[in-house]
Chains A and B, each alone.
Chain A
């Protein structure tokens, strides 16, 4: 299906970059900066060094004015880079939220006093609607708020929400009754019962989520912040203790002086985990945004984080694992019948069968090239009916029939024809492999069997294989009998299946898994899925589902594509991985920064400490500046990684850990040595320090 989407905007769109740049300046306001305590402390450092710079400026000697000024400037840049990362991550969401807000603008509604199309209505505004109110929505009207269709059916354009321009049908009863405020009725009229409080509609939630206004830090994010904050605190004390230690050392060694404030602040900023602290908000926001780019709305950040932990996926067979319908896969003639005869008969018998199964028989027969491929004329058609469980065609006095085994054989016997002895074994074999046999007869003589098969969606097998490697169990849920279910489960490569499932079986299964300590994810759309959705740790509802299902879920898929559950899991994991990777990188960087700053800071007290200058940095000033500049520049360099997320690799945890440990741990130790040295070479070339 071709989709028309809102034009994708890249995160690095020039317009967004400009907005983000302005926004990052606004975030310097200390009252806002305090939300990120680590960067707040850097900003305080920036202020203090600026004061030191002004002080130097008015001193007659002006010896270190250049150095202090540079350190100060780069500290400010460090904070700005951090703010920029966050603003950039918010940018796309804000742009989309603005367009959504236009759809939300107060609109007129036709409030009915009884659920009849003929009833009188009064005009009210959408903000006055309360749950339980009934409204009439006619062609061309906007649906004023979230609700459920209780009468009628209409064609609705939901592009405002989903970006999908093809209209959808919403009708009363069944699983397609939910309508969303802000969407437009383009044909027919419906009566809608409002289900959302004013200001709490789906559109409102969506805007808040996208804008990040309602974004609360997830527990894991908070725990990480505590770690970062604690490390920052300890490094503050380290730096605070260096002053008396260096004063004491200078006094007893008789040379040098205590380490100056600017150097202490530079050391503190370099040691504090600024890289991860600067990018942490961006990682979470960008993760939400990545979901949003795939038309998935998470109702809370917690839901995405939980998705990373999911270890059991409950998947409906139809639509997720298999294509919606069975398809003809093979023609199996009984002994003594030519296959071409069977193919031809099946073609004729299915010609008028409008069911997808029937169409697939015609398609397979045409493909095989064995049919005459003629267009039957003057024929009597017998379409498939649930009553006869057969379809067929009578032409030129010949009757072609195709249908369920018992139906066709019964008809055949009644016409006095024997049942071929090898028919039953062939039929049974098909059933055992999970297929559905359709028996074909010509003039009440049985010719053979058509093998109908569930067709797996392309790529699901590989995806399940990946999931298993990641330690995620997949469970297929189907209404099919055990035999069929087992065969499809084996073919798709799921770990387990639940056959002949009734709606409340899902809920029971989820509870069982959860009692064992598992985190369960599922998708659902129908009202009877709602309890299970509410129970699941990660519940993805289809946007075209019912209102109860959408309310019970914590993630809504606007495209109503159940396979996207797997995307949600991947993005959830990516967010956590990106946080972990950048934390490791940030902490590992400290080793090199120590080796850059410590010898430089203490050189005047103990000249022999020059041997610790393993990078051979030119002067103490360039050494300290290089470390500060590296510390600042690494933030914008890592913004793409933070926004895109660490590349997701489906592999067992043990290997994944080792892999990331080498890249970000070892890389985090080595990279700053190279980076600081490079910056130092550059600085010593251009700066007459």
Chain B
């Protein structure tokens, strides 16, 4: 099979997108049923009731946004503390056949924050630094819980948009349990079985040492409970690989089939949220409109990434060496399987990689960077992507509403000062973090010392690192000493603020919208599902989300690309 065959690849990508759309549509319906408590399957209901009884809550008890946010923060704080503790003391805990020792404090802090915030930025190599116990009860558990937290945020936002004249936006504990019980565990279970069937490993054996192939000396082959973590890592937009090579490792992602399967898992839940929203609000068109806006941006990104990689390295092409740029890509996935993974993992705030993003062509590398910097709204991280998208919708609606001569409204709710503030916090906080910390990193010695490739590429690496952490993506451009205390500690701060400030702002937004009365729609109401509005929404995302970073694109990837063109 050739590495790249554009006609076939286009068809593959189109079929892939169709499958994602179809699957996420049905999952959206299912999610709507789950979170509106309409699911009736007795054994689960009984289990659910028992759990609610155990934690002393019930579906009747709903909270205001403040209560919801408080519970969410407490829950995540507890999760963080447990994980942090496990990381420090893993050396004396069981299930540690490789006898790895505990993490240094700054790294443990970074990692614990990273997994709690659904970022899964990894400053360590999984196979050499983490014990199986850490992987299983530390990382995998947080993979479930951070994803469920994201789902809770989205559900609360949807309630805020669809309810009226109430200050209640749901019960965090109920939502959390349902997210895990009905959504993540069943889906992860199925995905694990599928992955196992394709050769992804699942064991607790120590690493194998075998004689090397050919002239190579003896080799160590890492083992572990991979499949169970791989499934939730993709599904929960987590992305923290069991192995350092992440989804490029054959034990994580053995075949072209598992590759496509894993990409679908990445997009599945984020893509289903607009559909869920359409169903919950009773306005399916609104859900479609959001989905289409996401899809348009995604297709544009895939197209740009594909063409950038297809044309190869301009410097090599000018020396008479044409061809697809395959550095950092897996031959078994081909070009389409690689770039689709790159685009999906950065679009959906997943962060798993099957391709070295550092090795992408400059303009190709611009695409993942761009997808992260627009605020992870192209599907985005579970829940957080949808919530940020709603924040963009609010800003778009605000300006568009004025243009038709009405004070703006979305889904029959007035958009006023408070909503505007919260939407802007959600959108701008990650951007501000990237700007501030990139600036700092390029001034202080510790920051500069961590850059391995000085020049425009080094700039891209730093911007990418903070973009990835602030937007809770977790993929890396590499080429940066991310484990150094400077990057580990600033990174931890960026991840926490980038996760929870927008989350709280969106919950506040939900609470404020839930209190409002609704206004009947008429011909004087701005249609928020029309093609014009979708174009406007995309334009607002591009201008506010991405144009902000144009100077950095110019001095990073664009300058690098132009240097290669000039053969410098």
Contacts and interface: CB of A to CB of B under 8 A. Distances in A.
Contact of B420 (A226, A243, A248, A577): A226
A471 B399 contact: no
B449 interface: no
B17 interface: no
A241 B435 contact: yes
A657 B404 contact: yes
Interface string B34-66: 000000000000000000000000000000000
Interface stretch (B167-175, B254-262, B548-556): B548-556
B559 A608 contact: yes
Interface in B506-525: 517-520, 522-525
A227 B535 CA distance: 20
Contacts of B421: 226
Contact of B517 (A247, A517, A573, A612): A517
Interface in B234-263: none
Given A652-B523, A657-B532, A580 B551 contact: no
A598 B552 CA distance: 10
A608 B567 CA distance: 11
Contacts, number: 218
A28 interface: no
A602 B421 CA distance: 34
A245 interface: yes
Interface in B387-409: 395, 398-408
A602 B536 CA distance: 31
B518 A238 contact: no
A252 B458 contact: yes
Interface in B479-528: 517-520, 522-527
B95 interface: no
A670 interface: no
Chain A at the B interface: SS class: helix
A211 to B, nearest CB: 25
A351 interface: no
Nearest to B535: A661
Interface in A288-346: 305, 308-309, 311
Contacts of A609: 554, 558-559, 562
A608 B402 contact: no
A366 interface: no
A606 B562 contact: yes
Interface stretch (B72-80, B86-94, B539-547): B539-547
Contacts of B432: 233-234, 237
Contacts of A594: 547, 550-551
B405 A605 contact: no
A95 interface: no
Nearest to A662: B532
B555 A227 contact: no
B424 A471 contact: no
B552 to A, nearest CB: 6
Interface in A208-241: 219-220, 222-224, 226-227, 230-231, 233-235, 237-238, 240-241
A240 B435 contact: yes
Interface string B160-183: 000000000000000000000000
Contact of B442 (A222, A247, A605): A247
Contacts of B547: 590-591, 594
Contact of A654 (B408, B530, B549, B563): B530
Contact of B532 (A245, A587, A601, A658): A658
A241 B439 contact: yes
A518 B420 CA distance: 22
A57 interface: no
B538 to A, nearest CB: 12
Nearest to B563: A608
A598 B550 contact: yes
B402 A657 contact: no
Nearest to B419: A223
Given A241-B436, A247-B442, A598-B551, A587 B562 contact: no
Contacts of B406: 308-309, 573, 576, 653
B460 to A, nearest CB: 11
B532 A654 contact: yes
Contacts of B431: 234
A1 interface: no
A516 interface: yes
Contacts of B535: 661
Given A574-B405, A653-B523, A237 B436 contact: yes
A653 B525 contact: yes
Given A598-B550, A656-B404, A249 B459 contact: yes
A686 interface: no
Contacts of B436: 237, 241
A244 B523 contact: no
A68 B190 CA distance: 66
Nearest to A601: B551
Contacts of A602: 551, 554-555, 559
Nearest to A645: B405
A611 interface: yes
A470 B405 CA distance: 10
A84 B421 CA distance: 30
A472 to B, nearest CB: 6
Interface string A564-586: 00000000111011011101100
A471 B405 contact: no
A417 B550 CA distance: 96
A127 interface: no
Given A246-B555, A606-B559, A608-B563, A469 B403 contact: no
B563 to A, nearest CB: 6
B438 A241 contact: yes
Nearest to A470: B524
B415 interface: yes
A253 interface: yes
B533 interface: yes
B446 interface: no
A664 interface: yes
B455 A252 contact: yes
Contacts of B532: 654, 657-658, 661
B407 A305 contact: yes
Contacts of B522: 311, 471, 473
Given A242-B551, A517-B518, A580 B403 contact: yes
B525 A471 contact: yes
A573 B405 contact: yes
A332 B266 CA distance: 81
A588 interface: yes
Contacts of A237: 432, 435-436
Interface string B422-453: 00100010011001101110110000100000
30 contacts: A220-B407, A220-B408, A227-B420, A227-B424, A230-B428, A234-B548, A238-B549, A308-B405, A309-B406, A309-B407, A311-B520, A469-B523, A471-B524, A473-B522, A517-B519, A572-B405, A573-B405, A573-B406, A576-B405, A576-B407, A584-B399, A584-B403, A601-B551, A609-B559, A609-B562, A652-B524, A656-B404, A657-B526, A658-B532, A661-B400
Interface of B: 395, 398-408, 412, 415-417, 419-421, 424, 428, 431-432, 435-436, 438-440, 442-443, 448, 454-456, 458-459, 517-520, 522-527, 530, 532-533, 535-536, 539, 543-544, 547-552, 554-555, 558-559, 562-563, 565-566, 568
Interface of A: 219-220, 222-224, 226-227, 230-231, 233-235, 237-238, 240-249, 252-253, 305, 308-309, 311, 468-473, 516-519, 572-574, 576-577, 579-581, 583-584, 587-588, 590-591, 594, 598-599, 601-602, 605-606, 608-609, 611-612, 648, 652-654, 656-658, 660-661, 664-665
Given A311-B522, A599-B554, 13 more contacts: A223-B398, A223-B416, A226-B420, A227-B420, A244-B438, A252-B455, A472-B524, A584-B399, A587-B544, A602-B551, A605-B555, A609-B554, A654-B523
Chain A to chain B: the 9 pairs with minimum beta-carbon distance, closest first = A471-B524, A580-B402, A573-B405, A580-B403, A608-B562, A471-B523, A471-B522, A241-B439, A244-B442
